[in-house]
Amino acid sequence: MLVSQLKSKIHRAMVTRGDVEYEGSIEIPEDLVKASGLWPGEKVLVASVTTGNRFETYVLVGPPGTGQIIVNGGAAHLIKAGERVVIMSFALDDKPITPTRIICNEHNEIIAQ
């Protein structure tokens, strides 16, 4: 039996900008994408620690080292700049997965892995 399990998680990232006019996605700097084990285009669940709002979208890789987490498209109405979020991806497997997790500070720098 395949079980859906947490694969990757960026915990307490700070949303730095929203762009309602962009067609969709969440832009995450390349360094955070790599450290968390996310893939470009991968489906993610984004949950606001601040408001509890959540949505699903896909990963758009941004320039490394910028600290910019940008919510694009209609989701920018749900989660806004200044909110803390958890970005999660899941995978199906028939055995337990050890997820890759990173924790960010308010500048989206990795403070724990």
Q: Per-residue pLDDT tens for 14-69?
A: 999 999 999 889 999 999 999 999 999 999 999 999 999 999 999 999 999 999 99
For the question of residue 22 being annotated catalytic, the response is no
Mean pLDDT across the chain:
97
CA 34 vs CA 26, 69, 103: distances in Å: 15, 14, 13
Name the CATH architecture for the domain at 11-92: Beta Barrel (2.40)
Query: Are the C-beta atoms of 91 and 2 separated by less than 8 Å?
Result: no
For the question of residue 4 being annotated catalytic, the response is no
Residue 28: Cβ within 10 Å count: 26
pLDDT at 24: 86
DSSP 8-state assignment for residue 34: H
Q: Above 90 in pLDDT, residue 4?
A: yes
Catalytic residue among 4, 8, 22, 25: 25
For the entire predicted model, the pTM comes to: 0.96
Measured at the CA of 66, the angle between CA 24 and CA 62, to 5 degrees, comes to 35
Residue ranges of domains in the chain? 11-92
pLDDT at 81: 98
